Structure 1
Amino acid sequence: MKFSPQQLDVIHATGDLVVNAVAGAGKTSTLIGYAKARRSSKILYLAFNKSVKEEAQVRFKKAGLHHVRVETAHSLALKYMGFQGVDFQSGSYQAHDAKQLLKFRMKDAVADMRYGHHVIQLMSMFCNSHVATVAEVDYLAALTEKEDQEFVTARYDRLIEDTRKFLGMINKGEIPMPHDFYLKLFQLRGPKLSQYDYILFDEGQDASPVMLDVFLNQEATRVIVGDEHQQIYSWRHAVNALQKSDFERKVLSTSYRFDRSIGDLAKAILTTKHHMDASANVPDITGAGGGKADGSRATLGRSNLAIIVDAIEQLIEHETIESVYFEGHFNSYTYADEGGSVFDVLNLYLGNRKGIRDPQMKAFQDFSQLEEFVDNGAQPTLKGILEIVKKYGRDLPSLIKELKAAHVTAEDKMKADRIYSTVHKAKGMEYDEVTLLGDFLGEEKLKELLRRGDVELDPARVIEDINVLYVAATRTQNKLIIPEEMVPMAFKNPEKSSIEVIEKEERHESEWPEELLVWPPSVGADQTPVKREESANIKPYEAKPYEKIRQTHGSAYSKWTDEQDELLETLFVSRTPVKEIAAEFGRTRGAIYSRIKKLGLQEKHFDAG
């Protein structure tokens, strides 16, 4: 492989190093070159997660680099600790587990779950931190909402003690051990990985503080690699290691994934950080890729809610696609990691308590209690599920059944008409064509928020939301379809461009509306949100319930018949207004536009010749 001057600069560097690489810059290829230049040395490569580890193992092995050992932080810790006969926890502990094990009792079920949530959050924060004791965790500083701060302050000493008790039960083997716990034990042991000459820390922009502490205390030559603008996991207690070390710095600013127009757009997106931080570093991004085509078409959203809504509309309502694939498994979009599925929430919504399986959901007397729990900042992963349930109601099971029936296997992923994913699940992925939904934070929305005197924005969180949009836009190899309001105002799209901008007037009424700033996006993990009412202080988006759509559009979300297609063609050819056609079929205008496009009626009758 021929390396660029920047890549060669990294490969031949000596001493501790930070490599800041833009999206698609050939980071792994550069590390392979780095390892090839040091064949007589023992190298440890720390991968971000299991899938990255497995991919890296294949690539290093293919390159004949048997002196490189690839591990994740957890796999390294597990092998070092040498546990035998330990019962490991599957998934995360829930607030309900904390209540059952610690036997606390607050004024009502909502307060119980809220307190339990803080026990679990504090335990998670401690296990992912570099500190040695729970008391050293500055938990109050991590709470952004006044209500949360007041709730925790009134119970702080008890919270510390209960969290210690919970950790003690894990340490004694009385309850299953979560994976973050043994990583913490590993760090507290102060391990010395003296068998390695070099340690490479990948995805350093989203480093776990506990593993970063282990890494920085090694005598080997240390190399941190990542993209500081792809930091999107700070809500999971991650820190940007690229900014927390004084190592020599190198850059990889040329992307071999996409072309110049995408590179210019990516830089323009990052430049919007200057609204929050005038000194924010924005790299030069040179797009030198594109051209590789695998036929994959992906739709990316910021939240699970946006993804599910679009999939239902495109597959069932508009029938523009026939097969789908959801990155990270479909169930991850309908389940909250801390407990509760869309079906549990639906049964609570419909008053069918006998149908609720999750013990945490059973703790709530009715749907209003669950809403109060979510509004108080606990269980934010449930927010999207609540909105889905309120939108589709009792029709949700049949809609999900249709989505699952259309879902292809992982082996046939590239054959799917549409791949759906949140940005967090698409991290590290690339697709031939990418369509962005409208629930990201664009510059237009950001400037609107900044103009309002009643809005208090956390600069760090806004900057990370800009990172989310940057990561989304840079998943494409050849074509990006992006809503107009997501495009930075200073960006000028060239005439011959790989970017298709969807103007507002071209978007159908049924497409996902503009979303307010909610933190964090739905990613299926423990989260600490910015409440809508106080932190963003914007009127929340109220999803139009499925039943209401059916009331005004009786045939909405039903399959088109051959007879209906024939009638649609007749009405279209006679130039009947779309509004009248929609009324005739009992469907939305967006559905009519999509069906006309799918049948190719415009080209067939008016564009020929």
Structure 2
Amino acid sequence: MSYDPTPEQQAIIDAARTGDDLTIMAGAGTGKTSTLKMLARDAGRRRGAYLAYNKSIATDAAKEFPSSVTCKTAHSFAYGAVGRNFAHRLNGPRVPARQAAIILGLNEPVKVGETMLAPQQLARLVSETIQRFCYSDDRQIQRMNVPLVNGLDRAGQAELAKYLVPIAQEAWDTDLTQRDGQLRFTHDCYLKMWILTDPQIHADYVLLDEAQDSNPAVAGLVSRQPAQRILVGDSSQAIYGWRGATDAMASFAGRRFHLSQSFRFGPAVAAEANKWLDVLDAPLRLTGYEQIPSRVEYAPDPDAVLCRSNGGAIVRVIDALSQGRRAALVGGGSDIRRMAEAAQRLQAGLPTDHPELFAFRTWREVQEYVEMDSTGSDLRVFVRLIDRHGSHEVMRVCDALVEERHADVIVSTAHKAKGREWGSVLIADDFPEPRAEEGEEVRVARDEAMLAYVAVTRAQRVLDRSGLAWIDRYAVGTPAPVVAKVHPPEATLSEAPDPLAEEVPPAGCSGQRPCFLCDPSVLETWPAPVTAGANRG
């Protein structure tokens, strides 16, 4: 079924005809994909390329866009040019961290500050360094590509980065870019290899969807195309900066247009969303769809419960199970289960290879870290969850989850809910209201405001805003000041969201923060340590 374009959509279609670069700021539920399809149909025989955020979006788009538009992910473009030559490596066996350490020549533990890092832990850090390099637009591996580690101070982080960068660069040059290499080869490897050749996409115009969450590598690829470039997204939904995404729209010089008419919800939900857009001082405000009678009210039996953290989500699942209700967790519980398993090992006085906890020797150290060190605040929800319910109970709850189609209630973090929508939504109470020291002005952190905006715009008919009702103290009258959470280059990893506070892909995947060489097995022996910077053999 086709619809007549709104005035905002028509203005975009008219501008696209000029061949100018465009930046389309599309609010939640405003029909950005429909607008791009209208634009493509209007373009006639001009060749287009639509870069989708993931494969499912690309597949759906290919069915609906005109045949003149090639709809693919960046990985799909790269696979045809480079990746197919490495298919045998993509289908190769998993490389355990111990084996990766041997391949990398990491034969002994390294002491960084007061923290001892075993060879397999170093191998995992090298792997994540390379992964972050793949997401970046850098030509060579930089210190900023080295992941931040819980428990390391700034000096220790700098020392670790200095040690790992040359190892990672050598691994990239002599193994990962070679057809006969031995290290674990991911889809992001061939994508980076392709982008480093400065390829040209054969199209008259290139559409980059979800541009606010592009990784710098893909954003750089699009910016260098000699074709007309059209970026579309919502800067107020740029919630993946912690995992390397960048808002390509912020620095792009194209002519700017807005889509503000939402077709997902009615005026009541739009008004609630606009409170957060006020706080963000966003360039648009949403208009609700009058034909949808949305309400902002108490929802005793919502279709979905959205939480700030995975720890908060597990608490909601525990509550549901205690009431005899079947619960589904968007994204599953495997990440949380692995975290609980790591906690169980530390509680037993055993080391763990979990990427967020391996720098700690005991559970008590983790408890002290989250309570005494401000940089450990993002681990605090998980630690308190384990302390209250126990690691066995958390694992049991993860095992009791059901598929969404069989669930009585769907629970999700706000991050994993992005791109989803439900008839009725309850906002959980683990979205913290900002606090300030005495004499300081209370400010809403920009990343928290964006996450809240995503959360409230998932509702179509009923929004129970309970967990975010405190916004009324900040969005009345003039917009409240916003302060961004800026993580210094040498800060500890916990300043960025931890796996229990954010969406983190499971080990072995090619997501944004994988540990694809992580081996969770027991560390049987720890040879004598060497210091960072010493000969690695």
What TM-score do the two structures reach when normalised by structure 1?
Answer: 0.67
**Quick check: 230-239 or 107-116, which moved more?**
107-116
Matched, 1:209 2:205: no
Per the alignment, residue 185 of structure 2 pairs with: 177
In structure 1, what residue type is equivalent to 2:224? Answer: N
8 Å contact kept, 2:140–2:169: no
Distance 1:90 1:438 in 2: 44
Per the alignment, residue 109 of structure 2 pairs with: 105
In structure 1, what residue type is equivalent to 2:78? Answer: A
Matched, 1:428 2:428: no
In the TM superposition, what are the counterparts of 1:323-338 in structure 2 within 5 Å? 323-332=326-335, 334-335=336-337
Matched, 1:418 2:401: no
Deviation at 1:139, TM superposition (A): 5.2
Deviation at 1:352, TM superposition (A): 8.1
Among 467, 479, 482, which residue is 2:462 paired with? Answer: 479
Per the alignment, residue 126 of structure 1 pairs with: 133
Per the alignment, residue 310 of structure 1 pairs with: 316
Distance 1:359 1:132 in 2: 26
Per the alignment, residue 274 of structure 2 pairs with: 267
1:4–1:483 Cα change, 3 Å: same
Per the alignment, residue 534 of structure 1 pairs with: none
Per the alignment, residue 286 of structure 2 pairs with: 285
Deviation at 1:371, TM superposition (A): 6.2
Distance 2:410 2:38 in 1: 32
Per the alignment, residue 367 of structure 1 pairs with: 363
Per the alignment, residue 7 of structure 1 pairs with: 9
Per the alignment, residue 392 of structure 1 pairs with: 389
1:255–1:342 Cα change, 3 Å: same
Could you give the per-residue CA deviations for residues 364-392 of structure 1, whole angstroms, max 9, x where no partner exists?
76434666898999999977654433222
8 Å contact kept, 1:199–1:223: yes
Segments of 5+ residues of structure 1 without an aligned counterpart are 274-279, 494-515, 529-609
Distance 1:240 1:394 in 2: 37
In structure 2, what residue type is equivalent to 1:308? Answer: I
Distance 1:147 1:83 in 2: 40
Distance 2:95 2:326 in 1: 35
1:3–1:144 Cα change, 3 Å: farther
Which structure is higher in RCO with an 8 Å CA cutoff and minimum separation 6?
A: 2
In structure 2, what residue type is equivalent to 1:477? Answer: Q
Could you give the per-residue CA deviations for residues 136-165 of structure 1, whole angstroms, max 9, x where no partner exists?
x6459x969995431133344322212213
Deviation at 1:403, TM superposition (A): 2.7
Matched, 1:245 2:252: yes
Matched, 1:343 2:348: no
Among 436, 443, 457, which residue is 1:449 paired with? Answer: 436
1:492–1:210 Cα change, 3 Å: closer
Among 321, 325, 331, which residue is 1:322 paired with? Answer: 325
In structure 2, what residue type is equivalent to 1:7? Answer: Q
1:350–1:144 Cα change, 3 Å: closer
1:346–1:486 Cα change, 3 Å: farther
8 Å contact kept, 2:431–2:467: no
Per the alignment, residue 489 of structure 2 pairs with: none
Distance 2:436 2:94 in 1: 35
Deviation at 1:185, TM superposition (A): 0.6
In structure 2, what residue type is equivalent to 1:469? Answer: A
1:203–1:128 Cα change, 3 Å: same
Per the alignment, residue 158 of structure 1 pairs with: 163
1:292–1:434 Cα change, 3 Å: same
Distance 1:401 1:42 in 2: 47
Among 519, 523, 529, which residue is 2:503 paired with? Answer: 523
Distance 2:214 2:497 in 1: 20
Per the alignment, residue 464 of structure 1 pairs with: 447
Distance 2:154 2:93 in 1: 27
Distance 2:126 2:213 in 1: 24
In structure 1, what residue type is equivalent to 2:429? Answer: G
Distance 1:418 1:236 in 2: 29
8 Å contact kept, 1:89–1:178: no
In the TM superposition, what are the counterparts of 1:507-586 in structure 2 within 5 Å? 519=497, 521-525=501-505
Deviation at 1:132, TM superposition (A): 0.9
Provide the secondary structure at the position in 1 that maps to 2:136: coil
8 Å contact kept, 1:148–1:377: no
Deviation at 1:239, TM superposition (A): 1.1
8 Å contact kept, 1:436–1:472: yes
In structure 1, what residue type is equivalent to 2:459? Answer: T
1:127–1:485 Cα change, 3 Å: closer
Deviation at 1:344, TM superposition (A): 4.4
8 Å contact kept, 2:23–2:249: yes
Q: Give the CA RMSD over aligned residues.
A: 4.1
**Quick check: 146-155 or 2-11, which moved more?**
146-155
| Number of equivalences | 468
**Quick check: 182-191 or 65-74, which moved more?**
65-74
Distance 2:379 2:268 in 1: 38
Matched, 1:23 2:14: no
1:490–1:364 Cα change, 3 Å: closer
Considering only CA atoms, is the larger Rg found in Structure 1 or Structure 2?
1
8 Å contact kept, 2:378–2:495: no
What TM-score do the two structures reach when normalised by structure 2?
Answer: 0.75
**Quick check: 417-426 or 119-128, which moved more?**
119-128
Deviation at 1:171, TM superposition (A): 2.4
